């Protein structure tokens, strides 16, 4: 069955232009793109954002393949909030020791999202990447503790602070703001904050798509989020690129991350911010 272009809105047009530019700049290297939408919390009914962001991802993927064919590779994914975190300043963690948390990747989506996927012939259901935040939390804590134990001197952005028995691992961002990545009230028991979870998610995503596309060195992660998650996601992107996805850690591959934030009131109203491991702050579009 021959693919045809789908009608798209403003957000998709901007991202399709970004993909077009990447493909032309990188060719004859085949660019690999990971498109993520449909983020949902399984405790609650599926939201309009989950459905609409997944539609946008699939329309972008469809039209990119129509326009560029074999000049690019596209991987699709959904992130599942299986932690149920309330990501405010004070409540952004789950205080469970790593040994007591079973790591299980989710396998099935709610019917509302499965129905969206069924509308697009490009979807190969067994190839869709489903990732859960619980596993990101576990691996993020392990990776951060390894850095603290073995190579903290290589990361000037990191520090450890302790006040009244509460120990915190701090990341200083590009604006000089202190961001708590993890904290501990008891020896060797750490809880993760949202930016660390997102940073590990992007590390996991890069590792998965690089294994699927071993012959390229140009990767672009495009991730749809709600505007209320702007701070945790942007900080998570910066943490991921600086701690986990430096050029030396990706065999000098280019890794771009574009975060797309959709308005609660109008899904054609958005903020787009792109960062990469070659240049930390590329653009912000309102």
Per-residue pLDDT tens for 170-215? 999 989 999 999 999 887 788 999 999 999 999 999 999 999 999 9
Residue 3 lies in a domain: no
Q: What mean pLDDT comes out for the span 148-169?
A: 92
Question: What's the pLDDT score for residue 73?
Answer: 97
**Quick one: which of 38, 112, 71 has its CA closest to 260?**
38
Residue 2 lies in a domain: no
Question: Is the model's pLDDT at 40 over the cut of 60?
Answer: yes
Question: What's the pLDDT score for residue 106?
Answer: 52
Higher pLDDT, 126 or 4: 4
Question: What's the pLDDT score for residue 90?
Answer: 44
Question: Is the model's pLDDT at 88 over the cut of 50?
Answer: no
Question: Is the model's pLDDT at 282 over the cut of 60?
Answer: no
How far apart, in whole angstroms, are the C-alpha atoms of residue 286 and residue 269?
A: 8
**What would the pLDDT profile of 225-236 be if each residue is shown by its tens digit?**
999 999 999 999
Question: Is the model's pLDDT at 93 over the cut of 60?
Answer: no
Question: What's the pLDDT score for residue 99?
Answer: 37
Residue 178 lies in a domain: no
Q: What mean pLDDT comes out for the span 17-42?
A: 96
Residue 56 lies in a domain: yes
Percentage of the chain beyond pLDDT 90 is: 76
Cβ atoms < 10 Å from Cβ of 51: 19
Q: What mean pLDDT comes out for the span 261-281?
A: 86
Q: What mean pLDDT comes out for the span 117-135?
A: 92
Domain region containing 29: 10-150+194-285
Question: What's the pLDDT score for residue 233?
Answer: 95
Question: What's the pLDDT score for residue 189?
Answer: 85
Q: What mean pLDDT comes out for the span 216-240?
A: 95
pTM exceeds 0.85 for this model: yes
In b/e form, how buried is each residue of 2-29, taking b as 16+ CB within 10 angstroms? Answer: eeeebebeebbebbbebbbebbeebeee
Question: Is the model's pLDDT at 91 over the cut of 50?
Answer: no
Domain count, the chain: 1
DSSP 90: S
How far apart, in whole angstroms, are the C-alpha atoms of residue 47 and residue 251?
A: 39
Question: What's the pLDDT score for residue 280?
Answer: 55
Token reading at 236: 């998570």
**Quick one: which of 42, 198, 195, 193 has its CA closest to 106?**
42
Residue 1 lies in a domain: no
Give 85's pLDDT tier (boundaries 50, 70, 90).
low
**Quick one: which of 208, 85, 192, 100 has its CA closest to 137?**
192
Question: What's the pLDDT score for residue 77?
Answer: 97
Residue 126 lies in a domain: yes
Residue 37 lies in a domain: yes
In b/e form, how buried is each residue of 103-138, taking b as 16+ CB within 10 angstroms? Answer: eeeeeebeeebeebbeebebbeeeeebebbbbbbbb
Q: What mean pLDDT comes out for the span 244-254?
A: 92
Question: What's the pLDDT score for residue 182?
Answer: 95
Give 216's pLDDT tier (boundaries 50, 70, 90).
very high
Residue 31 lies in a domain: yes
Question: Is the model's pLDDT at 95 over the cut of 50?
Answer: no
Report yes or no: 203 and 244 within 8 Å, Cβ to Cβ. yes
């Amino acid at each position: 069955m021959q693919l045809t272009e789908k009608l798209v809105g403003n957000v998709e047009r901007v991202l399709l232009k970004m993909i077009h530019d990447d493909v032309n700049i990188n060719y004859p290297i085949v660019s690999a793109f990971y498109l993520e939408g449909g983020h949902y919390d399984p405790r609650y009914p599926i939201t309009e954002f989950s459905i609409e962001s997944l539609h946008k991802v699939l329309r972008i993927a469809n039209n990119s393949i129509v326009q560029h064919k074999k000049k690019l590779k596209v991987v699709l994914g959904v992130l599942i909030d299986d932690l149920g975190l309330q990501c405010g300043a004070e409540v952004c963690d789950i205080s469970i020791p790593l040994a007591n948390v079973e790591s299980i990747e989710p396998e099935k989506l709610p019917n509302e999202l499965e129905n969206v996927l069924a509308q697009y012939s490009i979807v190969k259901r067994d190839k869709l990447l489903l990732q859960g935040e619980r596993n990101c939390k576990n691996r993020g804590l392990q990776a951060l503790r390894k850095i603290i134990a073995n190579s903290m001197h290589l990361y000037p952005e990191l520090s450890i602070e302790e006040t009244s028995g509460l120990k915190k691992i701090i990341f200083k961002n590009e604006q000089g703001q202190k961001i708590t990545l993890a904290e501990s009230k008891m020896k060797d028991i750490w809880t993760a904050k949202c930016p660390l979870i997102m940073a590990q998610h992007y590390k996991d995503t890069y590792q998965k798509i690089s294994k699927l596309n071993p012959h390229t060195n140009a990767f672009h992660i495009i991730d749809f989020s709600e505007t209320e998650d702007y701070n945790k996601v942007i900080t998570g992107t910066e943490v991921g690129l600086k701690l986990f996805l430096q050029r030396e850690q990706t065999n000098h591959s280019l890794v771009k991350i574009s975060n797309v934030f959709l308005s609660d009131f109008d899904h054609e109203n958005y903020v787009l911010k792109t960062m990469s491991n070659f240049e930390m702050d590329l653009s912000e579009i309102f």
